[in-house]
Amino acid sequence: MTLTLVLGGARSGKSRHAEGLIEAAPGPWTYIATAQAFDDEMRARIALHRARRSSQWTTIDAPIELPQAMRAAPQGRPILVDCLTLWLTNLMLSDADVSAARADLLGACRAAQGPLVVVSGEVGLGVVPENALARRFRDELGALNQALAQAAEHVVLTVAGLPLKVK
């Protein structure tokens, strides 16, 4: 297993870069999506992501049960997880045990038998949020990103569409 963590801000090119990393391996590929389409704008974003992927991609929707979806994916097949930012949002809104979910995710990453690329937002570069929920989210995502970066063989930060090797 090779774990690559791709970080970046909103609209930084992290998803497109992650797709390119996976497509460098022989297909078919698995895309595990965590987004939920609650409005027209999000439905359009999801449609745009799907439209740019070829028929070699199989998409699995896993807004909350991400570790389980990773374990159920075909073994040895390259997997892209996009993204942890939305997954964490879904967990927090459902009052899930974030610490247990983080540990489960790390276990699923370690168990992956093929290339694994995980996308996450980098939220540690902005101002301190004004409300407690937003501060908790920032702290939880920071802890999740740090744990994955520690476990990953490669970490990439995308800025303005450019990948910057961190690890």
> Exactly one of 16, 49, 71, 138 is catalytic; which is it?
49
Query: Distance (Å, rounded) from C-alpha 166 to C-alpha 6?
Result: 10
**Cβ atoms < 10 Å from Cβ of 132:** 8
Torsion of CA 39, 42, 44, 45, to 10 degrees: 180
In the three-class reduction of DSSP (H, G, I as helix; E, B as strand; rest coil), residue 13 is classed as: coil
154 carries an active-site annotation: no
Query: Distance (Å, rounded) from C-alpha 62 to C-alpha 108?
Result: 14
DSSP H or E segment with residue 139: helix 132-151
- Residues marked active site are found at 49
